[in-house]
């Protein structure tokens, strides 16, 4: 695509998303303090985030839309145009079984295509998104009820539920189906994103018809029966229905969204209580089933202004972020929350966890809470997750995404491929690496927030200003923002002062002159002045080595360079013949005794780690590792070999079973 066409498309997308945003904002009862820029307004420049987006694009283009559409056409009574993908119960279709998640990947894929078009103007992704929407429109019209589903006997399953026959295993299975409303939600989200980001009117129409069909299912049920349905994982169905209310203003959708609020988790959260630690014999709480529910609570707060919704959302966020998260920002083991005192046992023992889907959803919740009330701790968590979990969750060369990122010392990453492994984390993975530009900047009136040091360009059309952010972060903590303005513009520019900095360490200068502003960690430093073309704002976040102990343990420690988690490069011993792109997403265990430990205590670690000469972001221990010293690199760069994020301190006893 020629550059002029790309620019024109970006302008059209920005205008379309702005008008749609104005339409949906009419329903808001709570006005967020900050707004996101459209993805089209932020251009990623050469760096790891842009590279990750480009690798993701190649992955998207390897997927065959007609294979993802096959199940929808079959359930609509239309001849399939290609054979469906086969992947266990993820997308495989057995005509004799309802137990498949067929259809969920198409929803994520549609969202990813819409985001890619919005971010880059990619013409092929636009063509695919439009084609998929037209196919879903045809399937929906053939069904005649508004239903869009891809798993076998979907009509029969939903007819049973509408009639009040509800059989749940309180986890994944509902009337013999595999998380059916979870699958419905993904399709709704894909249609929503294609309307909001691309202005595809057909997507809007299909989405509304699908939501009308949902109303016919739940309108026949008592409130208790609705709660019985919600005992099975159901994704963000509440949020999606609330979004349809925001799009249309029709109160019946808000009524349905309220009914889809799972009281079992909402009521304790709204009282500031913890519903995430189960008491035996009750089963453990499935982590990712809860986060989209809480995102829906936050959305209902925006649309109603009712405080219990935001109290619940913030209570959940604080619980997960401050008591249940590993150093990379992820949480859980084998998809489930575990008691907070079990980090050194259940947490480190598991080859399954943290799950990429969980962090995808925690980032979404964090961003929504940040927009309501900008805060540095929330932005710090976003930075932690993006650099240390999400950026490293994709194979940087071949593409494909991780399901679990194990914290077990000696683990390694396993990635999906584009023909077999349509895991839930494949779906969220397709979206993750396109959205980086949405976390860097935000605005309100003439106020600009800058939260991440990611090399990029911002086109702030409302103010007639462009900002170029140049940085080599995290190689060092220096950055420069150069302004281009159609005419001099008075703006307030707030720069995050991260909580991981030392007091007074952040430095700011405008056009070479130091700025004397408050730069306390955990706050925003704001410079308000009239900016003109050529003005330059320079800043520095001095980076240094530091450590963090494993929560609820003094026996395990992680090493960081500023906010960047460093991992030990442990090589490939024992991995001969292992496929890093495999259907089995659990890495082979390495006995803890085979992993080096740190000799000493946490206070003396940093002094024994030195940078490797002439190698950026590479460090080596000196007299610290036992039986041998180790090389440390940013965790997001350590691929296709074993790693260690947490190190056992040799002079302390470890009770964990090996």
> Tens of pLDDT along 25-47?
789 999 999 999 999 999 999 99
The pair of structure tokens assigned to 634 is 């940013």
SS3 249: coil
Cβ neighbors of 267 (< 8 A, separation 6 or more) are: none
Residue 536 parent element (H or E):
strand 536-540
Q: What is the pLDDT of residue 658?
A: 38
Nearest C-alpha neighbor of 488 from the set 527, 529, 451: 529
Length of the chain: 658
Nearest C-alpha neighbor of 494 from the set 451, 438, 439, 540: 451
Q: Does the bond joining 354 to the residue before it have cis omega, within 30 degrees of 0?
A: yes
Cβ neighbors of 109 (< 8 A, separation 6 or more) are: 60, 63, 65, 68, 132, 190, 427, 430
Q: What is the pLDDT of residue 420?
A: 84
If phi > 0 it is left, if psi is from -120 to 50 it is alpha, else beta; for residue 379 that is: alpha
Phi/psi of residue 122, nearest 5 degrees: -60, 120
Q: What is the pLDDT of residue 2?
A: 43
> Tens of pLDDT along 202-231?
999 999 999 999 999 999 999 999 999 999
The interaxial angle of helices 104-120 and 123-143, nearest 10 deg, is 140
The CATH class of the 442-540 domain is mainly beta
Nearest C-alpha neighbor of 122 from the set 43, 9, 4: 9
Pair 463, 489: CB distance under 8 Å? yes
CA distances in angstroms from 474 to 42, 347, 505, listed in the order given:
20, 28, 16
> Tens of pLDDT along 592-638?
889 999 998 888 999 999 999 999 999 999 999 999 999 999 999 99
Give the start-to-end residue ranges of the domains of the chain: 1-31+63-253, 442-540
Pair 502, 562: CB distance under 8 Å? no
Pair 369, 298: CB distance under 8 Å? yes
Q: What is the pLDDT of residue 418?
A: 82
What is the per-residue burial (b if ≥16 Cβ within 10 Å, else e) of 553-581?
A: bebbbbbbbbbbbbbbbbeeeebeeeebb
Residue 111 parent element (H or E):
helix 104-120
CA distances in angstroms from 146 to 140, 207, 654, listed in the order given:
6, 9, 57
489-497 vs 447-450, strand pairing mode: parallel
Helix, strand, coil share (%) of the chain residues, nearest 5: 45, 20, 40
Residue 539 parent element (H or E):
strand 536-540
Distance CA 254, CA 159 (A): 23
Cβ neighbors of 278 (< 8 A, separation 6 or more) are: 284, 285, 337
Mean pLDDT by 10 residues, the chain (658 residues): 45 54 80 96 98 98 97 98 85 93 97 98 98 98 98 98 98 97 98 97 98 97 98 98 97 98 98 91 93 98 98 98 98 96 96 96 98 98 98 97 97 92 96 98 98 98 98 98 98 98 96 93 97 98 97 97 98 92 88 92 93 97 97 98 97 44
Q: What is the pLDDT of residue 203?
A: 98
SS3 476: coil
The pair of structure tokens assigned to 135 is 């196919």
Phi/psi of residue 401, nearest 5 degrees: -125, 155
Q: What is the pLDDT of residue 4?
A: 44
Residue appearing with tokens 């998104």: 129
Pair 37, 444: CB distance under 8 Å? no
Phi/psi of residue 550, nearest 5 degrees: -60, 135
Residue appearing with tokens 């036992």: 626
Q: What is the pLDDT of residue 353?
A: 86
Distance CA 164, CA 177 (A): 16
Q: Does the bond joining 434 to the residue before it have cis omega, within 30 degrees of 0?
A: no
SS3 567: strand
Cβ neighbors of 136 (< 8 A, separation 6 or more) are: 69, 72, 148, 187, 191, 206
Q: Give me Rg for the CA atoms of the chain.
A: 24
């Amino acid at each position: 695509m020629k550059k002029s066409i790309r620019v024109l498309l970006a302008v059209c997308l920005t205008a379309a998303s702005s008008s749609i945003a104005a339409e949906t904002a009419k329903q808001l009862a709570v006005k967020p303090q900050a707004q996101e820029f459209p993805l089209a307004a932020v251009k990623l420049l050469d760096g790891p985030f842009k590279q990750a987006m480009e690798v993701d694009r190649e992955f998207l283009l390897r997927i065959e839309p007609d294979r993802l559409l096959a199940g929808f056409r079959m359930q609509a009574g239309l001849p399939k145009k290609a054979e469906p993908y086969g992947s266990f119960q993820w997308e495989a279709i057995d005509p004799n079984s309802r137990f498949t998640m067929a259809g969920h990947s198409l929803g994520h894929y549609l969202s990813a295509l819409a985001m890619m078009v919005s971010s880059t103007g990619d013409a092929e992704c636009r063509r695919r998104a439009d084609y998929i929407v037209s196919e879903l429109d045809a399937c929906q019209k053939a069904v005649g009820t508004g239903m869009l589903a891809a798993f076998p006997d979907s009509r029969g399953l939903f007819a049973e539920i509408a009639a009040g026959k509800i059989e749940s295993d309180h986890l994944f299975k509902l009337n013999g189906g595999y998380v059916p409303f979870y699958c419905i939600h993904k399709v709704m989200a894909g249609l929503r994103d294609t309307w909001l980001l691309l202005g595809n009117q057909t997507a809007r129409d299909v989405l509304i018809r699908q939501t009308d069909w949902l109303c016919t299912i739940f309108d026949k049920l008592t409130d208790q029966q609705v709660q019985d349905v919600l005992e099975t994982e159901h994704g963000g169905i509440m949020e999606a229905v609330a979004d349809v209310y925001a799009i249309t203003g029709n109160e019946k959708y808000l009524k349905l969204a309220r009914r889809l609020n799972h009281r079992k988790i909402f009521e304790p959260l709204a009282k500031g209580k913890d519903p995430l630690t189960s008491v035996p014999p009750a089963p453990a709480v499935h982590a990712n089933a809860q986060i989209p529910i809480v995102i829906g609570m936050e959305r209902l707060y925006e649309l109603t202004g009712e405080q219990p919704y935001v109290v619940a959302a913030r209570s959940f966020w604080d619980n997960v972020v401050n008591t249940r998260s590993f150093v990379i920002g992820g949480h859980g083991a084998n998809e489930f929350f575990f008691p907070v005192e079990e980090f050194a046992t259940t947490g480190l023992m598991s080859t399954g966890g943290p799950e990429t889907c969980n962090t995808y959803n925690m980032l979404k919740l964090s961003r929504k809470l940040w927009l309501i009330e900008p805060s540095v701790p929330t932005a710090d968590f976003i930075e932690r997750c993006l650099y240390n979990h999400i950026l490293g969750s994709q194979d940087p060369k071949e593409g494909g995404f991780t399901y679990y990122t194990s914290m077990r010392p000696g683990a390694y990453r396993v990635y999906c491929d584009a023909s077999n492994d349509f895991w839930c984390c494949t779906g969220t993975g397709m979206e993750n690496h396109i959205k980086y530009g949405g976390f860097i900047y935000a605005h309100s009136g003439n106020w600009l927030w800058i939260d991440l040091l990611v090399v990029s360009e911002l086109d702030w059309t409302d103010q007639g200003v462009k900002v170029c952010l140049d940085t080599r972060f995290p190689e060092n903590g220096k950055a420069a923002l150069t302004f281009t303005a159609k005419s001099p513009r008075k703006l307030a520019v707030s720069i995050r002062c991260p909580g991981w900095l030392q007091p007074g360490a952040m430095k700011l200068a405008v056009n070479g002159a130091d700025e004397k502003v408050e730069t306390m960690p955990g706050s925003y430093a704001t410079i308000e002045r009239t900016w003109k073309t050529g003005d330059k704002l320079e800043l520095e976040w001095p980076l240094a080595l530091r450590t963090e102990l494993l929560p609820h343990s003094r026996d395990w420690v992680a090493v960081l360079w500023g906010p960047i988690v460093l991992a030990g490069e442990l090589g490939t011993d024992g991995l001969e013949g292992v496929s890093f792109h495999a259907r089995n997403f659990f890495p082979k265990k390495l006995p803890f005794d085979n992993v080096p430990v740190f000799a000493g205590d946490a206070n003396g670690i940093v002094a024994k780690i030195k940078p490797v000469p002439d190698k950026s972001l590479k460090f080596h221990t000196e007299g610290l590792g036992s039986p041998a010293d180790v090389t440390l690199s940013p965790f997001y760069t350590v691929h296709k070999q074993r790693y260690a994020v947490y190190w056992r301190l040799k002079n302390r006893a470890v009770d964990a079973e090996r």
